[in-house]
Structure 1
Amino acid sequence: MARAFRVAAAQYPIEAVASIDAYEAKIASWIENAHSVGAALAVFPEYGIMELAAAFPAVKSDLRGSIEAIDRHIGEIDALHKTLARKHDMHILAASAPLRGEDGRFRNVARLFTPGGAVGRQEKLVMTRFEREEWGIAGGSTINVFKTRLGMIGVSICYDAEFPLIARAQTLAGAELILTPSATDTLAGYWRVRIGAQARALENQCYVVHAPTVGEAAWSPAMDDNRGAAGIYGPPDIGFPDDGVVAIGEIDRPAWVLGEVDLDRVSAVRLDGRVLNSLHWPEQVGTDAPPLIEPTAEIIDLT
């Protein structure tokens, strides 16, 4: 199992792609670029796939129509990611997509593709006001941690990273690295997710990788404005930068942001850091108080 490797976090530009072929070519080019600089893991943002709605002029400006059109083509898009993960021997977190469940409701789903062909799915749990009040996206119900040849990986999608118990459940299930794809239309939204990501890295003494959408798409009612910078964060402790920032991008500029992660440093700092946040978590309620009631995460083997 590789314990030290390079991560590529996308500052991914939302653009009016002309066709499915154009979208697939763009994704393939981005992944080829990440592979060329030695990335073992590539992380795309939340809802990055919504730019594909531009390929369907009749529905591209219709919230419901656009997600229904993309849902019909998700099999083809996921097949591409599976092929690219195998071809480049990479793990790829695809841009999350609103997918229709068996109950007919749409949920925001991130998919983690491995070189061996396995696929892990994580639904976003907590919906933003836009998702629940205007878009009709439902929240998921299961927290997962993925066992991979890189290590134990959790996914907390955008708003989910602003709630500590989700990442805590992933940590208790063994997560060493938490991926946070996001889509925010203001700098305030970006900073909410970034502050959440850095707080989760501090609390759980782990790495958090934040990958946002960037750019303007006036034709899209869902993705019209996109602000942010990709970042890779750790706890400000032994073996990590003093500010916890392993790598950070330039606001709103499309690019891969690259950083080296070493999961042995996570093990070391949890065992013998200057502080032991992860170990001391239960003491928030006092040593004699009943234990905190926390959600649990399911471990999914993708090795």
Structure 2
Amino acid sequence: MSAFTIAAAQYPIDEVRSFVEWEDKLARWVAEAKAGGASLALFPEYGIMELTAANAKARDDLAYSLAWLSDHRSDIDAAHERLAAEHHIHICAASCPMRVGDAYHNVARLFAPNRKMGEQAKIVMTRFEREIWGVSGGRELTLFDTALGKIGISICYDSEFPMIARVLAEAGAKLLLVPSATDGLTGYWRVRIGAQARALENQFYAVHSPTVGEAPWCPSLDSNRGAAGVYGPPDLGFPDDGVVALGALDQPMWLFAEVDLAKVDAVRAEGAVFNQRHWTEQSDDALAGLPVVTQSLL
């Protein structure tokens, strides 16, 4: 299919008291996404941190929270796998810490209705992740070949770096998922502007899902600001401002929007501009021979 409905979560970090309580919340959210007609449900970065409320040490100790959640990855993933199959929906799960050797990565997982799953680790760490929390970046990009189309994931800060999305676009991605967690409006706008820029440069869809709300008990996600958005290039077949859909700031909700990947093919072939095609004209090789001339206006 080329056209389908996507649901992007504005996801609240709740003080869940047990795995069962978290699983019930996840089941409600997925059921609501399916009831809204979604074929793909996108959850935000680090949304799984709410589960640490169920363990006193994981709740209060940043370092231990990484180990505790990583140790529960199999149960967390099993819940998503089951719901994807039950509701016949693709689910991009809230990213979760995963132990890799002596390091921890921040990993999003995409679950298909056929019970298959793929992973994408965040590549570039924020200052909080690298200086305080001790989370490390991954070194591999994944193109997800799904029944909906070819999909890439750029987790939060990754969306602010053009080459990550560019590599995925050149591999065939027509839809970029951008799960995020930002504690202020400046962070939200950085990710949103990044997502919109990536949609413009690569002439594809970028879909943003943030955490929202206050969670003072959670040291990693105590404050959460943002709005979900679905963005495309401001060109043929897309809105003039590139904003396909936009949620209500800071409100827990699903944002639903139809995406049509045939529009990506059309704008790349017939648009007013060819950003995706003309990318190489500003590559390192293309620019290497151009002189920089200084003109004094003093």
TM-score (norm 1): 0.93
Matches within 5 A, 1:42-121: 42-101=41-100, 103-121=101-119
Asked if 1 retains the 8 angstrom alpha-carbon contact of 2:280 and 2:286, the reply is: no
Deviation (angstroms), 1:149: 0.6
Q: For residue 16 of structure 2, what is the amino acid of its counterpart? A: V
Alignment deviations for residues 135-159 of structure 1 (CA, whole Å, 9 cap, x no partner): 0001000011110010000000000
User: What is the match of residue 230 of structure 2?
Assistant: 232
Identity across aligned pairs (percent)?
Answer: 58
- Where does structure 1 lack aligned partners over 5 or more consecutive residues? 292-303
SS at match of 2:258: strand
Q: Give per-residue Cα distances to partners, 1:202-253, cap 9 Å, x unaligned.
A: 0000000000000111111101000000000000001001110111001100
Instruction: Indicate whether 1:3 and 2:2 are aligned.
Output: yes
CA contact 1:233–1:247 (8 Å) conserved in 2: yes
1: CA distance, partners of 2:127 / 2:83? 34
Give deviations 1:55-74, integer Å, cap 9, x for gaps: 00233011011222111211
CA contact (8 A) 1:227 1:251 kept: yes
Q: Secondary structure at the match of 1:96?
A: strand
8 A contact 1:49–1:95 mirrored in 2 = yes
CA distance in 2, matches of 1:194, 1:34: 22
Pair 1:79–1:275, CA change in 2 (3 A): same
| 8 A contact 2:182–2:225 mirrored in 1 | yes
Equivalent-residue separation in structure 1 for 2:283 and 2:214 (angstroms): 45
CA distance in 2, matches of 1:168, 1:145: 12
Give yes or no for the alignment of 1:213 onto 2:191.
no
- Matched with 1:187 is 185
Query: CA separation in 2, counterparts of 1:286 and 1:76?
Result: 45
Query: Does the CA-based 8 Å contact 1:45-1:213 persist in structure 2?
Result: yes
Contact 1:202–1:234 (CA<8 Å) still a contact in 2?
Answer: yes
Larger Rg: 2
Which position in structure 1 is the counterpart of 2:282? 284
Q: In structure 2, what is the Cα distance between the partners aligned to 1:67 and 1:107?
A: 9
* 2:164 aligned partner: 166
Amino acid at match of 1:218: P
- Would you say the 8 A contact 2:192–2:208 is kept in 1? yes
Write the distance in 1 (CA, Å) between the matches of 2:75 and 2:117: 14
How far residue 34 of structure 1 moved from its aligned partner, in angstroms, is 0.4
- Separation in 2, partners of 1:241, 1:192: 21
Q: How far, CA to CA, are the matches of 2:23 and 2:284 in structure 1?
A: 53
CA contact (8 A) 1:50 1:67 kept: no
Task: Determine the C-alpha separation between the residues in 1 that align with 2:16 and 2:153.
Answer: 27
CA contact (8 A) 2:10 2:210 kept: yes
Distance 1:151 1:290 in 2: 36
Which stretch has the larger CA shift, 213-222 or 196-205?
A: 213-222
SS at match of 1:240: coil
Q: Residue in 1 aligned with 2:28?
A: 29
- Specify the alignment match of 2:244 in structure 1: 246
2:231–2:242 Cα contact (<8 Å) kept: yes
- 1:122 aligned residue: 120
Contact 1:71-1:100 within 8 A present in 2 as well: yes
Contact 2:14/2:50, CA 8 A, preserved across alignment: yes
SS class of match (2:148):
coil
- Over the aligned positions, Cα root-mean-square deviation in angstroms equals 1.3
What amino acid sits opposite 1:21 in the alignment? V
Partner of 1:58: helix, strand, or coil?
helix
Contact 2:8 2:254 in 1 (8 A): yes
TM-score after normalising by structure 2: 0.95
Q: Secondary structure at the match of 1:279?
A: coil
- Number of equivalences: 289
Alpha-carbon distance between aligned partners in 2 of 1:256 and 1:84, rounded to the nearest angstrom: 17
Corresponding letter in the other structure for 1:149: A
Tell me what 1:273 maps to: 271
Gaps of 5+ in 2: 290-298
* Deviation at residue 285 of structure 1 after TM alignment: 4.5
- Once the two structures are TM-superposed, the CA of residue 129 in structure 1 deviates from its matched residue by 0.2
SS of the residue 1:180 aligns to: strand
CA distance in 1, matches of 2:269, 2:166: 17
> Which 10-residue stretch deviates more, 55-64 or 224-233?
55-64
Which amino acid in the other structure matches residue 189 of structure 1? G
